[in-house]
Amino acid sequence: MSEISPAAAVNPPSSAELQWAGDFLQALRREIGQVLIGQQAVVDQVLIALGAAGHVLVEGVPGLGKTLLVRALAACVNARFARIQFTADLMPSDVTGHALYNLREERFEIRRGPVFCHFLLADEINRAPAKTQAALLEVMQEGQVTIEGQSFPLPPPFMTLATQNPIEHEGTYPLPEAQLDRFLLKIQIDYPSFTEEAALLRQVTGGQVGDKLDVSRVRAVADPERVLTLQRIAARLNLDDAVLDYAVRLVAATRKTPGFAIGVGPRGGIALIRAARAQALLNQRDFVTPDDIKSIVKPALRHRLTLAAEYEMEGAQVDEVLDDLLRRVAAPRV
């Protein structure tokens, strides 16, 4: 069997397509910025996941704008949005839907759950038990829901944006590795800067009653079909063999690094390449560079890694070990 170069396997986007995609992503940036002050790196990473057709796990303390970000994104795309508040008593059927017997017509009817949307906000996902968390596995991986043995496809594009609180562990259920692996990126949202927080307080408290999330200023700049077009363009960006080799070496290095008890599997490498392509598109380039790989390594891999016990006891963080790994694995010059 003859080998096919990854770069030769796709037809790269035209300059017109590249310009359209860049303008589209910038428009999304601007509209989200109408309601979300600061957090530009977080916004960019969500847009990268959107372009790569992936799901995201957003981790941060309460009140940093996680829910507002998701609602603003859905409003930008004029897409169907649904929010599920995960709780300890939430059942799988509350997520996916269920069959209900209609006495009048003497037949079962399918009542579709909130997952039948384009953007799903799984709020505080780690508050639900494992069986309810598992209800999202098929949804996120296959883009479909099975109810009473019958499969129902979800409307594309479908994107799950889950949130969790990293500091509160009472009454929570850590996500299993199998589910964490379904998320393209794990995004960490931190406190805003002094200037950003001052602007935020001025905006939210200026003539507004209460603290209700307001996305009315967000203008719809696209529809779901345009998002699908964006994702198809991102998937066709040029990828040099040397850059692909660099990504593979980074992933393989996690399996040999003493700081990690469990390394990254092949799905992590696929996620890294997909996200790097979307990162390049966000920068309005039709090719992926080693810097694109470096910039997305931590969001793409941090949730797929487990620290070794001795490193965890010393208070080390996954991102710190990844930084050390990036220094040790040489990047190619392309």
Average pLDDT score over residue span 226-251: 96
Q: Is the separation of the CB atoms in 331 and 317 below 8 Å?
A: no
* CATH code at 12-224: 3.40.50.300
Predicted local confidence at residue 8, as pLDDT:
42
Q: Other CB atoms closer than 10 Å to residue 93's CB: what's the count?
A: 14
Fold of 237-334: Helicase, Ruva Protein; domain 3 (1.10.8)
Single out the residue of 197, 161, 191, 168 nearest to residue 79, CA to CA.
161
- CA separation for the pair 26, 43 (Å, rounded): 11
Q: Check whether 154 has a pLDDT greater than 70.
A: yes
For 212-251, the DSSP string reads ----TTPPP---HHHHHHHHHHHTTSB--HHHHHHHHHHH
- Per-residue pLDDT tens for 53-99? 999 999 987 777 788 888 888 889 888 889 999 999 999 999 999 88
Residues 184, 242: Cα–Cα separation, whole Å: 23
Q: Would you say 51 and 227 are in contact if contact means Cβ atoms under 8 Å apart?
A: no
What is the rounded average pLDDT for all residues in the chain? 87
The neighbour count for residue 252, using CB atoms within 10 Å, is 14
* Beta bridge pairs of residue 84: 122
- pTM recorded for the entire structure: 0.89
Whether 158 and 143 have beta carbons less than 8 Å apart is answered as yes
In the structure, what pLDDT confidence band is assigned to residue 1 with cuts at 50, 70 and 90? very low
Q: Parse the chain into domains and list their residue ranges.
A: 12-224, 237-334
**How many Å apart are CA 287 and CA 282, to the nearest integer?**
11
Residue 209: pLDDT band with limits 50, 70, 90: low
Which pLDDT score, from 0 to 100, does residue 106 have?
76
Instruction: Inform me whether the pLDDT recorded for 6 exceeds 60.
Output: no
